[in-house]
Structure 1
Amino acid sequence: MTLPPTPSRALSRRSFGAAAASLLLAASLAPAPAQAQNTIIMGKGGWLFPGWESLTTLDKPGIDRVVGLIGDTKAALAGRNIALVIALVPLKASAYVDKLPDGVRIAPEVQGQYDYILGQLRQAGIDTVDLRAALKSVETGKQTAFYRADYHWTSWAAEAAADAVGQTIKQKFPRLGGQPGTGDKLGQWVTQRNLGDLAQRFLTPEQQRQVGPDLYTVRAAAQSGGGLLGSGPAPVHVVGNSFVQPYLGFPQKLSSVIDRPVSLTWQPGNVGPWATFLQFLAAPDFQRAPPQVVVWQFNEGPFHSGPESPDQWDTASLMSPQTWRERMQQGVRR
């Protein structure tokens, strides 16, 4: 599966319908980190896990540096009366330890990694949503939180996570702008058969045949309430990677939950959260009609990686933490 051409993945709320419709043709891939070894963990029953996400090392200094940059971002946005909420996607392996191959274990310190990250963020006064219960809630019958041979969470998990984020926003920011009734109307569920991105990128043709495709149950495109004339700018903007792309339904579900328009800036995982956030700040919409709340989505595995990390992000995305901080602050102020 490959992404359709998308020169800019900064989507206004009115773009969701068209974007989701085109992406229904093929599930989108998040490329592996730029310098990552082309390895995966081949688990039981065709379950695949990204080998570039460490199951043995907890990088506390790296996490602390990233939390510092997010704290600087929160402070800069607060200067323009914009709130920041962090949504952290847990490790796929932590949800399916029983699917890991014999002899592969998650180290105790990594088992506590998610709690450590959340604790550091909250200690810094940064609003953060714990998504683990939401993801666990979809594990019923044949529903799973992650696709078997894919890096991504399922649409069920994406919607459950969006609901958790939406409830947090409604609780903490009850006076959102915009008009009630302008949230997205969700489409009907449809099911497709696709070869997971981990299988497609890293397995031999014979291995791919052995693993086989997964079923992708996603929403068909529906008309966005915000597509109506006069619905106004989006009070909530999502910044993230392919986990929050329209194909999987996170922004549409979030819009439905808060009953307001939601806009989106996303890039594949190899671009990284830092360059993607600067893209959001550089968009004309940010200056013309800044949101009240920014939801910034991260993944637990590479969370420790700052903007200078060549083992995670493309060369074009790399910069020193100080350069990123200066560009972020300039982008917020301009």
Structure 2
Amino acid sequence: MRPTYFSDSKAVASMRRRRLLLALAAAPFASGLSLMPRDAHAAQGVIEGRDRWLFPAWESYAADDTQACLKVVDLIGAAVSKLAAHDVRCSLVVAPLKARAAADKLPEGAALSPAVAQRYAAILAKGKQAGLDFVDAAAALANVDTREDSTYIRADYHWSAHTAEAVADATADRLSAPGVLRGEPTDQPALGDWTEEMEYGDLAALLSPERKRAVGKDRFIVREETGGGGLLADATPVVQVVGNSMVQPYLGFPQRLAHALGRPVGLTWKFGDTGPWKTLLDYLESPAFSSQRPQAIVWQFNEGQMAYGPGASGQWDATSIMSEAAWLDRLDKALMR
């Protein structure tokens, strides 16, 4: 029987085709709207840019929070060290800010501030200094053929499926280095043909009916599912992807990673308001992890949330918020089981 190449969960089955949904749109409004540039045309938490492009107003492209991001890298480093002590490697993927990927589509007269322009590189540099394996997802954008698709979806929060696959390939390159994964690759799972769907983006859905109609629908270029989606529940992942809706199956990150590695890849993803800290705990505290630990975890973040640790009130839903000490304690307990 062919192994499962991505697995987990009821959420995958229930989202077989569309719904990118509002991955981050619910929770951040309370605190995020204060970060809107004053000169931007913003409504309902959305910034309208050039050529009907939309940007999330809860992610600032002006405010300098670099130092807070670097403190979060320290916390990530503590977690990665604990995983490594239990023979689980961890690679980090930070989805770039949409305003970074499509800076030329920001509102007239708007631009990334110098601090934000340099922030992604600062995060990676801090990670390298600490010996962490950060995948350069911003550099992977250069591998997206923009004649076929944009790097991010015009009126949606998310990166495109072509970008998801480019970042998955970059991640696979890191995990394919000699000695990183044990065992031999198996046959690569097939990827479906590209297909196109016309839908309103999740940011467009936040606009008034009149503005939504004016912005119009987007082309969602995604792959057809193959083999019933490849969901065979009895497989054992060699690599587990843990993240938010950027890595959901609809956009193809776990499938492409499995294809590139020739290894079973598992998936645990939650919407953005759960946050990366609680999502990782949910996986580590699960029976799946305690019964069969993967060789590696790919832990995915969003750049716009990198300044926020597990105790960031107003960023995560109430059940996800905890102190750093409590979070590290739960991490230790999950690894000791």
When normalised by structure 2's length, the TM-score is 0.89
Question: % of aligned pairs identical?
Answer: 41
Decide whether the 8 Å contact of 1:16 with 1:224 is kept in 2. Answer: no
Letter in 2 for 1:133: A
- Corresponding letter in the other structure for 2:20: A
Query: Secondary structure at 1:112's aligned position in 2?
Result: helix
One-letter identity of the residue aligned with 1:120: K
Q: Conserved in 2, the CA contact under 8 Å of 1:17 and 1:221?
A: no
| Closer, same or farther: CA 18–61 of 1 in aligned 2, 3 Å | closer
Whole-Å separation in 2 of the counterparts to 1:149 and 1:179: 38
Is residue 56 of structure 2 the alignment partner of residue 83 of structure 1?
A: no
Q: What is the alpha-carbon distance in structure 1 between the residues aligned to residue 137 and residue 121 of structure 2?
A: 11
Q: Which amino acid aligns with 1:243?
A: M
Which one of 262, 274, 278 corresponds to residue 275 of structure 1?
278
Q: Deviations over 1:167-194 (max 9, x none)?
A: 110015454346512x432111111111
- Separation in 2 of the partners of 1:128 and 1:251? 17
Whether 2:215 is the aligned partner of 1:211: answer: yes
Distance 1:16 1:283 in 2: 12
Q: What is the CA–CA distance in structure 2 between the aligned matches of 1:186 and 1:234, rounded to whole Å?
A: 18
**Greater displacement, 150-159 / 324-333:** 324-333
For 1:85-100, what aligned pairs fall within 5 Å after superposition? 85-100=91-106
CA 1:100 to 1:161, structure 2 compared with 1: closer, same or farther past 3 Å?
Answer: same
Distance in 1 between the 2:233 and 2:303 partners? Answer: 39
Q: Please tell me whether the aligned partners of residues 20 and 247 of structure 1 are also in contact (alpha carbons under 8 angstroms).
A: no
Correspondence for 2:138 among 132, 147, 167: 132
> What's the CA shift for 1:98?
1.6
Bigger drift between 257-266 and 102-111 goes to 102-111
Going from structure 1 to structure 2, the CA distance change for 1:224 and 1:13 (only over 3 Å counts) comes to farther
| Structure 1 position 228, deviation (Å) | 6.8
CA deviations on 1:1-29 (whole Å, 9 max, x unpaired) are xxxxxxxxxx9834579936843143343
What secondary structure, in the 3-state scheme, does the structure 2 residue paired with 1:163 have? helix
Question: Closer, same or farther in 2 for the Cα pair 1:112/1:304, shift >3 Å?
Answer: same
Structure 1 residue 115: Cα displacement: 0.3
Q: Is the 8 A contact 2:6 2:266 kept in 1?
A: yes
Structure 1 pair 211–275 and aligned structure 2 pair: CA distance change class (3 A): same
Q: How many residues align?
A: 321
> Cα–Cα, structure 1 residues 229 and 196, in superposed 2: closer, same or farther, change >3 Å?
closer
Deviation string, structure 1 residues 17-42 (Cα, Å, up to 9, x no partner): 99368431433430325142342211
User: 1:25-44 counterparts in 2 under 5 A?
Assistant: 25-32=18-25, 34-36=27-29, 37=33, 38-44=44-50
Instruction: Verify the 8 A CA contact 2:20 2:245 in the aligned structure 1.
Output: no
Match of 1:171 in 2: 177
One-letter amino acid of the counterpart of residue 24, structure 2: P
CA distance in 1, matches of 2:225, 2:259: 14
Verify: 1:194 aligned to 2:199, yes or no: yes
Q: Is the 8 A contact 2:72 2:307 kept in 1?
A: yes
The correspondence of residues 42-53 of structure 1 with structure 2, limited to 5 A, is 42-53=48-59
2-structure distance, mates of 1:51, 1:13: 33
Asked if the contact 1:21–1:220 (Cα under 8 Å) also holds between the matched residues in 2, the reply is: no
TM superposition outliers: structure 1 runs of 4+ over 6 Å: none
